[in-house]
Amino acid sequence: MSYPGGPDGPSVAGPEVTGPYVTGPAAIGQSDGPPVTGPHLIREVHPGLAGAVGSLWLAVTRAGGAIGFTRDAPEPAVRAAAEVAVGDVRAGFEHLLALGSGQAVVGTVSVVPGPSRVSAHRGTVVRLMVHPDLHGRGWGGRLLDAVVAHSRSLGLEQLLLSARSGTPLPAYYAARGWTEVGRWPGAVRVGPGDDRDEVWFQLRI
């Protein structure tokens, strides 16, 4: 499969991550382990994908990643959210790109195109996640570039994403050319007395 990449991002190409998926702990990014490949566009949802995405989401959450939960979130809640997300992929509401390592899913990002005629020109980027063992190797940037390229191939003209204040993410997105267009003060309650802003970013593509 391949999608033409524009000047600001790579093409999305390579074999799909088709399963059977690893849903439990696995050696990630080790020199003697399987290489990391992708990003790959998931065209068909195979059994086990929700479990694999849930395992990744849980690992990122436990490492303190700001992906919709706090570090101590109950595992069933995280896995239930993964089931819903993969259900949206199956239904065609969102497009999922993934990194694979052997049969493990070690990174994801999705774009949700606008659902109506008045919003069909834009999309929302959600759940940019990379396994903690792979942090600092540029995989998050590759996923972000790939979802921009794929969104462009869908005919989208602008993208929106949000980030939690008090984390490195707002500065990360700004450095990659995204423009802050607003923030919701105190929208995210991380803990007692610890409310964070939800910061919104836009990218015209």
Residue 23: inside a domain, yes or no? no
Helices (H) and strands (E) counted in the chain, each on its own, are: 4, 9
Per-residue model confidence (pLDDT) at position 95 = 97
Give the DSSP letter of residue 28: -
Whole-angstrom Cα distance, residue 96 to residue 77? 20
Per-residue model confidence (pLDDT) at position 47 = 87
Please, what sign has the CA dihedral across residues 141, 146, 148, 149?
positive
Residue 144: inside a domain, yes or no? yes
Q: Is 202 exposed, middle or buried, given 0-12, 13-18 or 19+ CB atoms closer than 10 A?
A: middle
pTM of this structure: 0.83
Residue 8: inside a domain, yes or no? no
Residue 12: inside a domain, yes or no? no
Q: Where are the beta strands (DSSP E) in 82-178?
A: 95-101, 104-113, 122-130, 158-164
**What are 169's two structure tokens?**
């993410």
Per-residue pLDDT of the chain in tens (205 residues, 90 and over written 9) = 222 223 233 334 334 444 444 444 444 555 556 889 999 999 989 889 999 999 999 999 999 999 999 999 999 999 999 999 999 999 999 999 999 998 899 999 999 999 999 999 999 999 999 999 999 999 999 999 999 999 999 999 999 999 999 999 999 999 999 999 999 999 999 889 999 999 999 999 9
Per-residue model confidence (pLDDT) at position 103 = 81
**What are 154's two structure tokens?**
């869908």
Per-residue model confidence (pLDDT) at position 28 = 54
Residue 185: inside a domain, yes or no? yes
Per-residue model confidence (pLDDT) at position 32 = 57
Domain count of the chain?
Answer: 1
Query: Among 113, 5, 156, 131, which Cα is nearest to 63's?
Result: 131
Per-residue model confidence (pLDDT) at position 17 = 43
Per-residue model confidence (pLDDT) at position 34 = 81
Residue 179: inside a domain, yes or no? yes
Per-residue model confidence (pLDDT) at position 102 = 83
What is the enclosing helix (H) or strand (E) of 172? helix 169-175
Give the DSSP letter of residue 134: G
**Residue 95: strand, helix, or coil:** strand
Residue 25: inside a domain, yes or no? no
What is the enclosing helix (H) or strand (E) of 38? strand 36-41
The CATH number assigned to the domain holding 161 equals 3.40.630.30
Residue 192: inside a domain, yes or no? yes
Give the DSSP letter of residue 135: T
What residues make up the domain containing 64? 36-204
